Structure 1
Amino acid sequence: MKFADWYLKIAAVSAVCGAAMELFMIHTGFYDKVTVLESEKRAWESSREAQAIKEALNPWRKIDEEAKKPS
Structure 2
Amino acid sequence: MESLEDVDFAKAYEHPLPDALSIWEIVLHVAATNETVTKRLHGVPATMTPEEDWASIETADAGSWQTAP
Bigger relative contact order, structure 1 or 2 (CA pairs below 8 A, ≥6 apart)? 2
Q: Shorter-chain-normalised TM-score: which range?
A: 0.3 to 0.5
Report the TM-score, using the length of structure 1 for normalisation. 0.35
Q: Which has the greater radius of gyration?
A: 1
TM-score under structure 2 length normalisation: 0.36
